[in-house]
Amino acid sequence: MTGRLDGKVAIVTGGGSMGPGWGNGKAASVLFAREGARVLVVDNRTEAAEEAAAIVAGEGGTAVAVTADVSREADVARLVADCIGRWGRVDIMHNNVGIVVPGGPEDVNLEDWARGHDVNVTSILLTCRHVLPHMKAQRAGVILNVSSIASLRWLGAPYISYNATKTAINGMTRAIAAQYGPDGIRCNSILPGLMRTPLVEGAVFKSLAGSDPDAFFAARAGVVPLRRWGDAWDVAEAALFLASDSARYITGTELVVDGGVTIQAGV
């Protein structure tokens, strides 16, 4: 099926990728464009946003790269104004940006803790604050918030900032969905599981330097009921479904995209 987002305008935050290959935001940017959307690809690294926008253009789609730090209100106001000035509307706000701050309650650095909240949580508040007036005027809009299975489960490593911020996202999603449903606006969370993206590959290769990352990836795949890591396209397909009219009666929910890993005890 094609054209599921014909005529729509999407903003994708973190629309680039941390390294070579496909991150979740980059795959969503390209997939949304393949389905007919015009896409504002937002990233705080210019080259990452431009790379994703160039892939879209190379496929004959429409995308514009914007450099912005979505934890800063002035940047968010500017990128939303850019989108409205350029295309006159915003139909899909895909809040994909997320960072991992290491540490548990005893040792997490408080500056890093604050940065984790600014990037993972406040960024969503800010994009919503600036797109909601336009979506209300349109009487339609879709907000997608990329959370994580870390909002549901302990994942075996002390990342309390990540657990806290991703859980906050689920609560914000429900609040936004309830408050703005009467305006024709839907809001849902996406909870990816073990996704083999450049972000994860970089962290694994760094922490396992000198040993065998392939063995690590194979062993982790073994704990997933579907017996494989997910990839950025698995998350992008879920985002496409929720962004499209196929999901027109779905709001305030959490779509887990994890090959079944969280349904088991001990994970």
Ligand X SMILES: NC(=O)c1ccc[n+]([C@@H]2O[C@H](COP(=O)([O-])OP(=O)(O)OC[C@H]3O[C@@H](n4cnc5c(N)ncnc54)[C@H](O)[C@@H]3O)[C@@H](O)[C@H]2O)c1
Query: Count of alpha carbons within 13 Å of 236, Cβ hemisphere only?
Result: 21
Q: Which is nearer to ligand X, 44 or 251 (CB)?
A: 44
The question of whether 159 is a catalytic residue gets the answer no
Q: Which of 70, 124, 168, 247 binds ligand X (CB under 6 A)?
A: 70
Contact segment (CB under 6 A) with ligand X among 9-17, 126-134, 212-220, 259-267 equals 9-17
18 binds ligand X (CB under 6 A): yes
61 binds ligand X (CB under 6 A): no
Q: Choose the catalytic residue: 159, 162, 180, 249.
A: 162
Q: Which is nearer to ligand X, 43 or 50 (CB)?
A: 43
Q: How far apart are CA 142 and CA 242, in angstroms?
A: 8
Q: In what order do the strands lie in the sheet with 141-146?
A: 62-67, 38-43, 9-13, 92-95, 141-146, 185-192, 254-257
Q: Which is nearer to ligand X, 137 or 219 (CB)?
A: 219
Q: Give the shortest CB-146-to-ligand X separation in angstroms.
A: 4
Widest pairwise Cα distance in the chain: 56
**Torsion, Cα of 70, 72, 74, 80 (10° steps):** 20
16 binds ligand X (CB under 6 A): yes
Computed on alpha carbons and rounded to an integer, the radius of gyration of the chain in Å comes to: 18
Phi-psi region of 8 (alpha: psi -120 to 50; beta: other; left: phi over 0): beta
Q: CB of 252 within 8 A of CB of 187?
A: yes
Whose CB is nearest to ligand X?
98
User: Where does this chain bind ligand X (CB under 6 A)?
Assistant: 13-14, 16-18, 23-25, 43-45, 48, 69-71, 96-99, 119, 146, 148, 192, 194-195, 197-200, 232
Positions marked active-site: 162
